[in-house]
Amino acid sequence: MPRESKQARLSRMHQEYAVLCEEIPHPKCALNFSNPFELLVATVLSAQTTDKRVNMVTPELFDEYPEPAALASANPEHVESIIHSIGFYRTKAKNIIRLSYALCERFDGEVPQTMDALTSLPGVGRKTANVVLGNAFGVPGFPVDTHVIRVTGRLRWRSDWASGSPDPKAIEREITACFPPEEWTDLSHRLILHGRAICHARKPDCLNCPLNDNCPSAFAA
């Protein structure tokens, strides 16, 4: 592919995103939740585990521990027994108990609505905070997960697309600079859903990809 100017890349990004909007008109978070606390806990549990698997354990977890105060005082072994089918369940059990305790001690049992406050909680990184901000509070957030990293790299939406160890925070900064804040949450959802359905890690389905006419990586993998 010939060298592309920044303006040309930006124009292509918006054209490709318009296609994704047509293909995925109503994106939504794949995690099941009924309040910000449930989404926060579910997102922490989802690290290196599928959302589908998390959705299988959270109904029992939230039935037993419906609010931060209950989970803060939970027996770690009991929490482990509920979530044992997901990856790193022991560490995650400790983290969701500790973050629940922190919510009670520092935020009166309420999930905070700022990036700094959320990331001060045990086990909560920037990606998790962005998920909660965008989906629970309607605050612009752009979660960068493995799908977002892969798809934005293959589409060459970012300058470090060839890097073997891209920085998620740098990706968030570069991609969000190209789209209005009100689009950030849905943009992330659409990239994730496209990555899951079409742009697979090992063998992308370029033949059936709606972006294959413009994608610099089409049919190359």
Write out pLDDT tens, residues 7-21: 999 999 999 999 999
In this prediction, residue 113 carries a pLDDT of 97
Neighbours of 51 (CB within 10 A): 17
pTM value is 0.92
In this prediction, residue 219 carries a pLDDT of 83
Percent of the chain topping pLDDT 90? 94
CA dihedral defined by 174, 158, 52, 65, rounded to 10 degrees? -20
In this prediction, residue 4 carries a pLDDT of 86
Backbone angles phi, psi at 25, to 5 degrees: -70, -30
Whole-number average pLDDT of the chain: 95
| Cα–Cα distance list, 70 to 9, 108, 119, 155 (Å) | 50, 13, 22, 45
Residue of 127, 167, 186, 213 with catalytic role: 127
Closest CA to 132 of 122, 142, 123: 142
Average pLDDT over residues 51-62: 97
Three-state secondary-structure class, residue 7: helix
Residue of 145, 167, 169, 213 with catalytic role: 145
Tell me whether residue 127 is one of the annotated catalytic residues: yes
List, for residues 171-186, the tens digit of each pLDDT value: 999 999 999 999 999 9
**Is the pLDDT reported for residue 31 higher than 90?**
yes
Tell me whether residue 6 is one of the annotated catalytic residues: no
> Band of the pLDDT at 221, cuts 50, 70, 90?
low
In this prediction, residue 1 carries a pLDDT of 55
Backbone angles phi, psi at 156, to 5 degrees: 55, 45
> Band of the pLDDT at 148, cuts 50, 70, 90?
very high
> Band of the pLDDT at 46, cuts 50, 70, 90?
very high
Q: Please give the full DSSP string across 106-167, using - where no structure is assigned.
A: HHTT----SHHHHHTSTT--HHHHHHHHHHHS--------HHHHHHHHHTT-STTTT-SS--
Neighbours of 38 (CB within 10 A): 19
